[in-house]
């Protein structure tokens, strides 16, 4: 379906849990995390019901995220069932990779179409400082499994941080030189912990120049796929894979935004930076009919806000500013 600004909305990110086995400084506080009680988290059946309505409204791609989605029980079964919904063309997963090796076979058997693995560093010390956990070898084991198994659609998500992983940008990008993977550099977004931390992102333009100076020209890749989302991809001579940039701040991606988000507790979130959306759980549990629920979701998606408000400082009084942390949204 299209929203009030004529954007085709065909992509939904579904967060299946707010729990995580890492505590990345830009995403989640070390302590005092208020977990959503289990009873308030959507059941797999409820998620499926919403996914079916999404597909009838024109959603074609679903990304499963978290917190850390691999902590959710029976995730491969959920993926398989979503894959079987008519109209859903792709189901993908974003994971920190800690449990990936353990679940790889089940995920592949469920028909998962793509995996985004978050990896900011190869350095054990930097990893344990940034994520507050010592699990780098597990994450790298997960990546190696994907490569060994020739998994078809691998993306690496990296958040470049001044003075943290700055020295490793070339090494991280080189993953795309030697393997058929897309390495994506994501600008640090001012959400939750990131807003109040000492961390500073590195602008995409700076990373772009660094890569160009070291690897040669970055040639824009024209995406034929309308499900692609806001990343801009580039090919590089002698690279098997590609380099991507998601620069949320410098170049607003809102004009091409094709997505909505469903949080673990069942809030349909129509903008990352605003509180716009719909409490779907409440409706689901008050015995709403399928048609009524579908109509409410359709109206909410139609009213998706025009753009994020991170730079302008304008307060959008219609919706209010986002009050969730990144681990409660799923990226
Ligand atoms: N736990 C999974 C993971 O880390 O891949 C999925 C959820 S995580 C919230 C999804 C993505 O959001 C990760 O790639 C992470 O690096 C990114 N992320 C978290 N906080 C961010 C922030 N403040 N700015 C930019 N990206 C962020
Ligand atoms: Fe967990 Fe992902 Fe957030 Fe890191 S970025 S704390 S792995 S949800």
Residue 316 clears pLDDT 60, i.e. is over it: no
Residue 209 clears pLDDT 90, i.e. is over it: yes
Residue 258 clears pLDDT 80, i.e. is over it: yes
Q: Pick 328 or 183 by higher pLDDT.
A: 183
Closest approach atom of ligand 1 to CA 65: 6
Ligand nearest to the CA of 132: 2
Q: Is residue 211 part of a domain?
A: yes
In testing the pocket of ligand 1, which one of 135, 326, 329 has its CB within 8 Å of the most ligand atoms? 326
Bridge partner list, 246? 186
Distance CA 294, CA 291 (A): 5
Range of the domain at 302: 11-156+204-232+252-329
Cα of 222 vs centre of ligand 2, distance in Å, is 30
pLDDT at 275: 87
Closest approach atom of ligand 2 to CA 23: 6
pLDDT at 325: 84
Residue 229 clears pLDDT 90, i.e. is over it: no
In testing the pocket of ligand 1, which one of 65, 67, 118 has its CB within 8 Å of the most ligand atoms? 118
Q: What is the CA radius of gyration of the chain?
A: 19
126 CB neighbour count, 10 Å cutoff: 17
Residue 317 clears pLDDT 60, i.e. is over it: no
Bridge partner list, 32? none
pLDDT at 22: 97
Phi, psi dihedrals of residue 52, rounded to the nearest 5°:
-65, -40
Q: Is residue 195 part of a domain?
A: no
Range 150-169 average pLDDT: 98
pLDDT at 331: 85
> Considering its fold, how many domains does the chain have in total?
1
CATH number at residue 88: 3.20.20.70
Cα of 331 vs centre of ligand 1, distance in Å, is 5
Pocket-forming residues, ligand 2, beta carbon under 6 Å: 20, 22-24, 27-28, 66-68, 96, 118, 326-327
Confidence of residue 247 (pLDDT cuts 50, 70, 90): confident
Cα of 188 vs centre of ligand 1, distance in Å, is 9
Closest approach atom of ligand 2 to CA 98: 7
Q: Is residue 297 part of a domain?
A: yes
Assigned token pair, 115: 């995996």
Closest approach atom of ligand 2 to CA 96: 7
Q: Is residue 172 part of a domain?
A: no
Instruction: Give the sheet arrangement for strand 259-262, strand by strand.
Output: 218-220, 232-236, 242-246, 181-186, 154-158, 114-118, 90-95, 61-65, 11-15, 259-262, 267-269, 277-279
Residue 312 clears pLDDT 60, i.e. is over it: no
Q: Is residue 183 part of a domain?
A: no
Closest approach atom of ligand 2 to CA 327: 8
pLDDT at 270: 96
Nearby residues of 52 by Cβ (< 8 Å), 6 or more positions away: 85
Q: Is residue 116 part of a domain?
A: yes
- pLDDT tens track for 119-158: 999 999 999 999 999 999 999 999 999 999 999 999 999 9
Least confident of 99-108, 124-133, 263-272, 304-313: 304-313
Range 153-165 average pLDDT: 98
Cα of 233 vs centre of ligand 1, distance in Å, is 19
Range 100-122 average pLDDT: 98
Q: Are 114 and 93 in contact (CB under 8 A)?
A: yes
- pLDDT tens track for 39-50: 999 999 999 999
Residue 252 clears pLDDT 80, i.e. is over it: no
Q: Is residue 179 part of a domain?
A: no
pLDDT at 330: 86
Residue 289 clears pLDDT 70, i.e. is over it: yes
pTM comes to: 0.94
Q: Pick 241 or 254 by higher pLDDT.
A: 241
Q: Is residue 177 part of a domain?
A: no
Residue 272 clears pLDDT 80, i.e. is over it: yes
Residue 38 clears pLDDT 70, i.e. is over it: yes
Burial class (CB in 10 A: 0-12, 13-18, 19+), 136: buried
Pocket-forming residues, ligand 1, beta carbon under 6 Å: 20, 26-27, 65-68, 94-96, 118, 157, 159, 186, 188-189, 191, 194, 326-327, 330-331
């Amino acid at each position: 379906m299209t929203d009030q600004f004529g954007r085709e909305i065909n992509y939904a990110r579904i967060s299946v849990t707010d729990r995580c086995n890492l505590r990345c400084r830009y995403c989640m506080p070390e302590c005092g995390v208020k977990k959503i009680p289990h009873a308030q988290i959507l059941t797999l059946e409820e998620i499926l019901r919403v996914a079916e309505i999404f597909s009838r409204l024109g959603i074609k791609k679903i990304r499963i995220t978290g917190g850390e989605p691999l902590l959710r029980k029976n995730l491969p079964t959920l993926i398989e069932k979503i894959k079987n919904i008519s109209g859903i063309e792709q189901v993908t997963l974003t994971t920190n990779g800690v449990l990936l090796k353990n679940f790889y076979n089940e995920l592949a058997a469920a028909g998962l179409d793509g995996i985004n693995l978050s990896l900011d560093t190869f350095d054990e010390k930097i990893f344990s400082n940034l994520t507050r956990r010592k699990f780098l070898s597990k994450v790298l084991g997960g990546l190696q499994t994907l490569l060994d198994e020739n998994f078809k659609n691998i993306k690496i998500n990296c958040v470049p941080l001044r003075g943290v992983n700055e020295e490793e940008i070339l090494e991280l990008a080189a993953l795309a030189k030697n393997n058929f993977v897309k390495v994506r550099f994501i600008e640090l977004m001012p959400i939750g912990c990131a807003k109040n931390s000492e961390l500073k992102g590195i602008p995409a333009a700076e990373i772009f120049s660094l890569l160009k100076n070291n690897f040669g020209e970055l040639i824009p890749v024209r995406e034929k796929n309308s499900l692609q989302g806001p990343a801009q991809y580039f090919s590089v001579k002698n690279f098997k894979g590609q380099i991507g940039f998601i620069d949320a701040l410098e170049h607003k991606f809102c004009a091409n935004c094709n997505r909505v988000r469903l949080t673990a507790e069942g809030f349909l979130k129509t903008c990352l930076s605003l509180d716009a959306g719909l409490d779907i759980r409440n409706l689901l549990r008050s015995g709403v009919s399928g048609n009524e629920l579908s109509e409410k979701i359709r109206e909410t998606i139609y009213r998706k806000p025009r753009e994020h408000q991170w730079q302008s400082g304008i307060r959008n009084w219609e919706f209010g500013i986002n009050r969730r942390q990144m681990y409660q949204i799923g990226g």
